[in-house]
Amino acid sequence: MLLKNKIALVTGASRGIGRGIALSLAKEGCSVIISDIDEVELKNVEREISLLGVRVLLIKCDVSQKDQVNEMMQKVQEIFGKLDILVNNAGIYPHKSFEEITEGDWDRVISVNLKSIFLCSQEALKIMPNGGRIINISSIASFVGFNGLTHYCASKGALNSMIRALALEVASRKITVNAIAPGVIETPGAHNPDKNLENQTISMIPLARMGQVEDIAWAVVFLASDLSSYITGQTIIVDGGWTLR
């Protein structure tokens, strides 16, 4: 097991990519703290992880709220004593044309997708030992534009810049900070019942298939392990080649 005896926290873990990351970390021997605002779905993930024979802790948390993040990290410290791996996965992507985006829409996306990275990372560093890992889920939307997602693209582009600066600041502690930028991943939230549109999407991907949750989850496992100890400040694109065109 690559991550035996490690403690990991995954935000936005109730479904999709976050759920897949939490399960993959658990399969590699991690004790896993799963966090989300959806406690009902989170309990299902908690049950799945417990069947793998590792410790699991469920914490309901809105990661855009400082007080809730602080309480979550305090609980992690009380129960586990440390945090080796932080996976900042929580994010939202509400489609809306630029002219229709309100100030509230903008602030919400930036708070959940970017401010939460600041809040969670800052608190995690207080209980993270030397050699820890901070892994952030970005998006290919930080490299290419998408209609109706200006606020989302901006939040992910800022995230890519933020990790480079943070990686420099924590390098003396041998803590690495990286991001993964998924392409089109087949999740319940991204499912399109229109087969013609799905086929059009696949035609744009050189590897000719939709990405699977596991494609992202195993990239996270790699960055969380000692196999990636010399990689920091990088955004790794996992998109089947979409951004090569």
Domain-embedded: residue 1:
no
Mean residue pLDDT of the chain comes to 96
Domain-embedded: residue 81:
yes
Name the band, by pLDDT with cuts 50, 70 and 90, for residue 245: confident
For the chain, the farthest-separated pair of C-alpha atoms sits apart, in whole angstroms, at: 51
Instruction: List, for residues 47-58, the tens digit of each pLDDT value.
Output: 999 999 999 999
Does the predicted model carry a pTM greater than 0.75?
Answer: yes
Domains identified in the chain, total number: 1
Half-sphere exposure of 3 (CA within 13 A, CB side): 29
HEC letters along 4-26: CCCEEEEECCCCHHHHHHHHHHH
Domain-embedded: residue 21:
yes
Q: For residue 67, what pLDDT is reported? A: 98
Instruction: List, for residues 61-110, the tens digit of each pLDDT value.
Output: 999 999 999 999 999 999 999 999 999 999 999 999 999 999 999 999 99
Looking at the chain, the whole-number percentage of residues with pLDDT higher than 70 is 98
Looking at the chain, the whole-number percentage of residues with pLDDT higher than 90 is 94
Q: For residue 189, what pLDDT is reported? A: 61
Q: Could you confirm whether 93 is annotated as catalytic?
A: no
Q: Which of 137, 132, 114 is nearest to 215 (CA)?
A: 137
What is the amino acid identity at position 178? N
3 pLDDT above the threshold of 70: yes
Domain-embedded: residue 243:
no
How far apart CA 239 and CA 85 sit, in angstroms, is 24
Q: For residue 191, what pLDDT is reported? A: 56
Q: Please tell me which residue in 152, 224, 232, 237 is annotated as part of the active site.
A: 152
Domain of 31? 7-236
Domain-embedded: residue 212:
yes
Domain-embedded: residue 128:
yes
How far apart CA 140 and CA 137 sit, in angstroms, is 10
Instruction: List, for residues 106-160, the tens digit of each pLDDT value.
Output: 999 999 999 999 999 999 999 999 999 999 999 999 999 999 999 999 999 999 9
Q: For residue 211, what pLDDT is reported? A: 97
Among 189-198, 214-223, 227-236, where is mean pLDDT lowest? 189-198
Domain-embedded: residue 202:
yes
Q: Which of 90, 61, 72 is nearest to 126 (CA)?
A: 72
Element (H, E) at 137: strand 133-137
Tell me the CATH number at 15.
3.40.50.720
- Contact present, 71 and 46 (Cβ < 8 Å): no
Q: For residue 192, what pLDDT is reported? A: 60
Domain-embedded: residue 194:
yes
How many of the other CB atoms lie within 10 Å of CB of 172? 8
